[in-house]
């Protein structure tokens, strides 16, 4: 079975990388452009996100709101494609680590209480992508 698992490992790595990257995009679309308005968030545009960040102690919100949006809307697809994989994964990892701190502050652990359970899983997955790198099924590998 070892050879079978070794054969599937690059595919599993690619699927995880794609899932991590694409999971960020709906959040960016919601916080930046107001998509998915009935999903339980207050900020549906950058000014509202900046205000929410300021109120939560992440100042200056006007700096962090576009940084978060870029991380989600640009970093997510780059990660999914496997382009600039490790640098992008590092940025996403920092973003998720901060998200975990915020989620712990708000709801402790359980996701249904706004805790860090959900973001922690994505943080671990992003860390794995950061360590493993782009893998053979990536644009990084394709362009050398």
**What is residue 60's predicted lDDT score, i.e. its pLDDT?**
94
Domain count along the chain: 1
pLDDT in tens, 20-51: 999 999 999 999 999 999 888 888 999 999 99
E strand or H helix that includes residue 88: helix 85-107
Task: List Cβ neighbours of 90 (8 Å cut-off, separation of 6 or more).
Answer: 130
CB 75 within 8 A of CB 24: yes
Provide the residue range defining the domain that includes 62.
2-136
* Within a domain: 62: yes
* Within a domain: 144: no
* Within a domain: 141: no
In our burial notation (b when 16+ CB lie closer than 10 A, e otherwise), range 111-140 reads eeeebbbbbbebbebbbebbebebbeebeb
pLDDT in tens, 110-127: 988 888 999 999 999 999
**pTM for this one?**
0.90
* Within a domain: 143: no
pLDDT in tens, 70-91: 999 999 999 999 999 999 999 9
CA distance 28 to 100: 17
* Within a domain: 142: no
CA distance 133 to 127: 10
């Amino acid at each position: 079975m070892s050879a079978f698992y070794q054969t599937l490992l690059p595919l599993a790595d690619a699927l995880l990388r794609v899932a991590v990257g694409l999971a960020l995009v709906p959040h960016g679309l919601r916080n930046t452009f107001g998509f998915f308005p009935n999903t339980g968030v207050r900020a549906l545009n950058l000014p509202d996100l900046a205000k929410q960040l300021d109120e939560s102690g992440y100042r200056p919100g006007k700096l962090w709101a576009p940084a978060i949006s870029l991380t989600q809307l640009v970093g997510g697809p780059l990660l999914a494609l496997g382009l600039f994989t490790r640098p992008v994964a590092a940025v996403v990892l920092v973003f998720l680590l901060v998200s975990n701190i915020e989620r712990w502050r708000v709801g402790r652990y359980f996701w249904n209480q706004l805790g860090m359970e959900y973001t922690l899983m994505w943080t671990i997955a992003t860390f794995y992508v950061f360590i493993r790198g782009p893998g053979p099924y990536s644009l990084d590998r394709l362009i050398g």
